[in-house]
Amino acid sequence: MIKKLKIYATIASLFILGSCSVAGSWFYERADSYLADYFKEYANFSNEQKDEIDKVTKNYLDWFTTNELPMIKDVLVNLKDISNSNANNLIDETYVVGQELFVRSNKYFEKSFIEFFKSLTDLQVYEIKTHFEEIRIEREESRKEENTYPEEVAENYIAGFRRLNIKLTELQRDYVNESIKELKDIRADWSFFQEKWVEELIGILEKRNDPDFEIKITSHLRSLESLGDEEFQLKRKNNEQIWIKTISGILSNASKKQIQGAKRRIDTYIASIDRILSNRSLD
């Protein structure tokens, strides 16, 4: 159950949202509750089902903290050595780690989701279907107010670098605007394939008592990692390469002040992770 296809990877960045103070650790330690509440919105679940959702999300946060946070810290420590000369390689390595984290998180939830799906009633499947429909309508309404694709992407770049404590110069903004001209606008395609995936999910859930249910639902959940047809995948790959190239290009030519600012922000992220891990070790 997802609002965005990478919902399972969301916790990977939760500690960053409040990274400038103890609030970062406080928010992270409650991330399982936020995630559980998110899943509970999909239907009118029984108390037993809600307890199961709470258990799964808590176990996920425990697993993520033990297995993933130390790896994220290692990545951040490596990024602290970033310079104009090594930015390309470090950004490539960081991207690969992020993709691998997404796959591992998906895999972690897989078995729990399948077992939970088996407990659904017909009414709950219908409620889940209705909830997805509400999300679709909400998405269509918000799309009317969307900026053009280049404007949206440019704003995301500016905001992303700001979170890294880098304020882009006018020249750097021009570089971003020039780089993203080659991006493919996949927003409509993305929505189409999401809706198709959801439609197939509901169809499988409606037949959850079939003998081959586990095989079908497992295959369908894993298909999230390769959503869409070949043409869509090529567009996504093209965009990913441009995103990485643009980020690397900015950092490869960043000023000394910008690099130092980024390193200070990375130190803040590392401190937040250390605080989380220290608090867990005291529990």
Query: Residue 2: inside a domain, yes or no?
Result: no
The per-residue pLDDT for range 10-40, each reduced to its tens digit, is: 444 443 444 444 445 656 777 778 778 888 9
Name the average pLDDT for the chain: 84
Query: Residue 24: inside a domain, yes or no?
Result: yes
At 198 the pLDDT is 92
Dihedral sign of CA atoms 222, 223, 227, 229 in order = positive
Query: Residue 250: inside a domain, yes or no?
Result: yes
At 53 the pLDDT is 92
Alpha-carbon gap, residue 235 to 122, rounded angstroms: 38
Burial class (CB within 10 angstroms; exposed 0-12, middle 13-18, buried 19+) of 103: middle
What is the number of structural domains in the chain?
A: 1
The per-residue pLDDT for range 163-222, each reduced to its tens digit, is: 888 999 999 999 999 988 888 888 889 888 989 999 999 999 999 999 999 999 999 988
At 10 the pLDDT is 41
CB atoms within 10 A of CB 56: 21
The pTM assigned to this predicted structure is 0.81
Query: Residue 1: inside a domain, yes or no?
Result: no
Domain that holds residue 64: 7-282
Query: Residue 255: inside a domain, yes or no?
Result: yes
Closest by Cα among 153, 232, 219 to 192: 232
The per-residue pLDDT for range 133-173, each reduced to its tens digit, is: 988 888 777 766 667 777 888 888 888 888 888 999 999 99
Question: How many helices, marked H, and strands, marked E, lie in the chain?
Answer: 13, 0
Is residue 50 pLDDT above 90, yes or no? yes
